[in-house]
């Protein structure tokens, strides 16, 4: 009887070799399942993380033309007499809302059924503009002065007082609160 160790190995059938190579092994299938699970888990983490990162850029706070804020009744203003009013409203960021936040102030001047509004922020360095003795407005910090129409008269302010848009709704004065870059001759909105 011939020794099996001495006999030459049998040649595998060519078709059986191709079939064995075409079928993935269990190990390959397991790698594929783990890879697909990892991709799904990664996507499940990336989507909420992307929202958290981009939410403040897309939804929070005043942008563009500002925030329309209801202030005082039109009847509370006397014709031609400047009145400083607080701008109070809800403030939203990307995740929370703070109720009744003091956002700033404006000088309101009634002219018939319309109202002119000026920002109280001095265009020079951002100090608060007050009423001048007699007429007009004054920045007490650096002595910039403005007439009743907000035009710069004297001092280091690089421009006139910043005019804010207004409208009357249901008998109340509504002001478009916009912030402008200080220290520049041009009115440039800031977010």
Is the pLDDT at 9 greater than 60, yes or no?
no
- Bigger pLDDT: 2 or 69? 69
pTM above 0.85, yes or no: no
Domain span including residue 24: 14-58
Q: Are residues 75 and 169 in the same domain?
A: yes
Question: Residue 172 belongs to a domain with what CATH number?
Answer: 2.102.10.10
Q: Are residues 78 and 166 in the same domain?
A: yes
Is the pLDDT at 24 greater than 70, yes or no?
no
How distant is the alpha carbon of residue 116 from its chain centre?
Answer: 27
Residue 31 CB partners (closer than 8 Å, separation 6+) = none
Q: Are residues 73 and 54 in the same domain?
A: no
Mean predicted lDDT score pLDDT of the chain: 80
Is the pLDDT at 60 greater than 60, yes or no?
no
* Sign of the CA dihedral with 118 first, then 124, 126, and 127 last: negative
Instruction: Report if residue 158 sits inside a domain.
Output: yes
**Domain count across the chain:** 2
Is the pLDDT at 113 greater than 50, yes or no?
yes
Contact between residue 143 and residue 152 where contact means Cβ atoms under 8 Å apart: no
Instruction: Give residue 4's pLDDT band: very low, low, confident or very high (50, 70, 90).
Output: low
Instruction: Report if residue 38 sits inside a domain.
Output: yes
CA atoms within 13 A on the CB side of 126: 5
Instruction: Report if residue 5 sits inside a domain.
Output: no
């Amino acid at each position: 009887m011939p020794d099996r160790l001495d006999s030459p190995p049998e040649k595998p059938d060519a078709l059986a070799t191709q079939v064995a190579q075409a079928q993935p092994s269990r190990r390959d299938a397991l790698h594929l399942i783990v890879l697909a699970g990892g991709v799904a888990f990664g996507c499940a983490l990336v989507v909420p993380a992307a929202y958290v990162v981009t939410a403040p850029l897309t939804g929070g706070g005043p942008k563009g033309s500002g925030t329309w804020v209801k202030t005082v009744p039109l009847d509370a203003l006397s014709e031609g007499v400047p009145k400083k009013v607080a701008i109070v409203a809800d403030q939203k960021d990307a995740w929370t809302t703070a109720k009744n936040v003091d956002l700033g102030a404006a000088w309101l001047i009634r002219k018939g059924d319309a109202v002119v509004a000026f920002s109280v922020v001095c265009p020079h360095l951002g100090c608060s503009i007050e009423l001048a003795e007699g007429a007009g407005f004054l920045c007490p910090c650096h002595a910039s002065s403005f007439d009743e129409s907000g035009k710069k008269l004297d001092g280091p302010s690089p421009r006139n007082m910043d005019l804010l848009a207004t409208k009357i709704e249901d008998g109340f004065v509504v002001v478009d609160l916009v912030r402008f870059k200080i220290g520049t001759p041009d009115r440039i909105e800031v977010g």
